Structure 1
Amino acid sequence: MPKLDGLEATRIIHSEFPHIRIIGLSMHGKEDKAARMIEAGASAYCTKDGSTEVLLSAIRGKVGGSFC
């Protein structure tokens, strides 16, 4: 994202709309990145190389506060 990274976007969205569930989706699979996204307000964090089923599970609300 050219002017705003996903972490900062998550913080802004979560502060303005705390009831919205956010799923972080990134090519970075490091657990520290996932932890920072969860701390910023994301409900889940998935990697782009993860399985479709795991992402769909997160979208359906079956994964909360986790790294997929």
Structure 2
Amino acid sequence: MVDKNEIEGGAKEAGGKLKEAAGKAVGNERMEADGKVDQAEGKTQKNYGKVKDAVRDQTS
């Protein structure tokens, strides 16, 4: 079963990629940096969900 953190993290990571690309396209360095931060947060949340799933699988 996929943990909700994996889904939410993946969505945040994807949104961050879009935000970074938009920032590059319009020359907005702040938006580009925010997109990179969102990607890192999303990746962390997604990995947390994967670990949580692995632990749940091991204890079941």
TM-score of the superposed pair, with normalisation by structure 1: 0.27
Q: Normalising to structure 2: TM-score of the pair?
A: 0.29
Q: Which has the larger radius of gyration?
A: 2
More helix by share: 2
Which structure carries more relative contact order (alpha carbon 8 Å, separation 6+)?
Answer: 2
